[in-house]
Amino acid sequence: MTSIALSAYRAPELRLPRLLAGVSYYHPAGLAEHEELYGPLPLPAETPAQDRAWRQRQRLIEIVERSGLTGRGGAGFPTGRKMRSVAALAGDARKGRAVVVANGAEGEPASCKDRLLLTRVPHLVLDGITLAAGAVGADEAHLVVHGQETDLMAGLEDAIADREALGVDPVPIQVTGIPARYVSSEQSSIVHYLGGGPAKPTFSPPRPHERGVKGRPTLVNNVETLAHLALIARYGDSWFRGIGPPSEPGSALVTVGGAVARPGVYEVEMGTTLGEVVMTAGGPSERPQALLAGGYFGAWLPADLAWQVPMTHADLRAVGGAMGAGMVIALPITACALAETARVVSYLAEETAAQCGPCMFGLPALADAVIDLAYEGGWGRAIKAIATLVPLIEKRGACRHPDGATQLVRSALTAFAADARWHDRHGPCYGVSRAPLLPVPGDEEREWSWT
């Protein structure tokens, strides 16, 4: 991809790409290239005057609030509001200065958008961190990725070193590796780990924005959110609102996978229908029966229903789905959704933090029940077993891990109710012996047989 001149980039007719404008197939965009593409970092000048500094911080927070940017890590919480609460609490001398944490530890196996940003346009994310740190008055900034991604971390360290050489970031950004467990990339796990504890979720309240790393107000944002922030600070809130619906404006990165012609990460306008998203990825490679939107904590939607649904948090929730961290996976008619769900729930059951009883014991029982239904035939009892287990598990843990698994199972039994009844009576269908579709780590060691 060639670089786009700054003036052309600001042109209103050019809607997309925004974040991915600087992405090259071959190498990450260096600092000079980054500044040429997007413009210099609009950091307010350092001023000793306390009130002027405070007003500058408030200005950026206001712009973010007006832009309507919501978190791109899955929850979709208004970013401006989060920044405002952290800034307000950090102003209180007793609570300590704020901490900014950029969550680039993409726990979802099916998602690669954060990795794309961090490997190809790292300076966008780093700009976002610096701007956020300035806005909430933080004196500590962390960029968190999975610890075993040594290449990724090395690349990020290089990018930060380039910036340090020019003194770009007032607050030094530390790259931290966290354990590669599924629950470790959850917000409270990261905060717990950065404070010196294990990378396991903690009981809230208090939430990180009130008491986070070492008890200080902590702003935790997904790296994509911070990348958007970096552009909003440059081009303003009306620019950001230029695309997408008014309720959830802007663009978003989507990882499209499954039975599509060109799986990968795409930048789309918020509110694009799921069908259009699949077409952007080259269209389905086999006839789809359903779409999984939102990843492993998302929901299955039958293809004919899902095709017209706009990709926003509100619209997806309205049909019983979830946006999650922007993933759309197309399930072909030759595959078995129940088998795919069984594999995912088994993985999630192995990935509990083993802190809360209902999740620690309930998820393995649920996984067994779904495996029963998909692979062995439930003898008419599996659906009942699942229906009994789901209310015993959801909302009874300290984090959303059990809720995500139960949402996936619920949606599978709703979207594939007829299939489930068939499985319950007759046993596995031909789809279970198809090659697995959803990526599940460690799958090669598990045996997924028909009988």
Nearest approach in angstroms of CB 397 to another protein is 5
Nearest approach in angstroms of CB 106 to another protein is 25
Composition of the chain by helix, strand, coil, percent to 5: 50, 15, 40
> Nearest-5° angle of CA 290, CA 271, CA 266?
70
Q: Which is nearer to another protein, 78 or 364 (CB)?
A: 364
The CB density around residue 269, as the number of other CB atoms within 10 Å, is 19
CA-CA-CA-CA dihedral for 5, 7, 13, 15, to nearest 10:
60
Q: Which stretch binds another protein (CB under 8 A): 66-74, 123-131, 196-204, 304-312?
A: 196-204
Q: Which is nearer to another protein, 42 or 197 (CB)?
A: 197
Q: Does 368 bind another protein (CB under 8 A)?
A: no
Which amino acid would we find at residue 430? Y
Write the DSSP symbol of residue 46: P
Contact 192, 202 (CB under 8 A): yes
Within residues 320-359, the interface with another protein by CB under 8 A covers 355-359
Nearest approach in angstroms of CB 395 to another protein is 10
Q: Does 362 bind another protein (CB under 8 A)?
A: yes
Within residues 286-305, the interface with another protein by CB under 8 A covers none
Q: Does 242 bind another protein (CB under 8 A)?
A: no
Contact 449, 375 (CB under 8 A): yes
Q: Which is nearer to another protein, 183 or 301 (CB)?
A: 183
Nearest approach in angstroms of CB 392 to another protein is 5
Write the DSSP symbol of residue 435: P
Contact 171, 126 (CB under 8 A): no
Contact 108, 68 (CB under 8 A): no
CA-CA-CA-CA dihedral for 52, 57, 62, 65, to nearest 10:
-170
Within residues 386-445, the interface with another protein by CB under 8 A covers 392, 396-398
Write the DSSP symbol of residue 399: S
Instruction: Write the interaction track for another protein spanning residues 16-55; mark x where CB under 8 A is met and - where it is not.
Output: ----------------------------------------
Interface with another protein (CB under 8 A), residue from 202, 272, 406, 407: 202
Using CA atoms, how far apart are residues 357 and 361, in angstroms rounded to an integer? 6
Count of residues touching another protein (by CB under 8 A): 14
210: its two tokens: 């009130």
Q: Which is nearer to another protein, 202 or 280 (CB)?
A: 202
Using CA atoms, how far apart are residues 29 and 19, in angstroms rounded to an integer? 12
Residue labelled with tokens 């077993």? 385
Q: Which is nearer to another protein, 81 or 207 (CB)?
A: 207
Q: Which is nearer to another protein, 203 or 430 (CB)?
A: 203
Q: CB-based contacts of 95: which residues, under 8 Å, 6+ apart?
A: 89, 211, 215, 216, 217
Nearest approach in angstroms of CB 369 to another protein is 13
Q: Which is nearer to another protein, 284 or 362 (CB)?
A: 362
Segments of 239-298 assigned E as strands: 251-258, 264-269, 288-293
Q: Does 361 bind another protein (CB under 8 A)?
A: yes
Q: Which stretch binds another protein (CB under 8 A): 131-139, 151-159, 195-203, 299-307?
A: 195-203
Q: Give the DSSP H or E segment for 136.
A: helix 122-136
Instruction: Write the interaction track for another protein spanning residues 203-222; mark x where CB under 8 A is met and - where it is not.
Output: x-------------------
Q: Which is nearer to another protein, 159 or 359 (CB)?
A: 359
Collapsing DSSP to helix, strand or coil, 261 comes out as: coil
Using CA atoms, how far apart are residues 265 and 282, in angstroms rounded to an integer? 12
Nearest approach in angstroms of CB 394 to another protein is 12
Q: Does 189 bind another protein (CB under 8 A)?
A: no
Q: Which is nearer to another protein, 258 or 362 (CB)?
A: 362
- Positions touching another protein (CB under 8 A) are 201-203, 355-359, 361-362, 392, 396-398
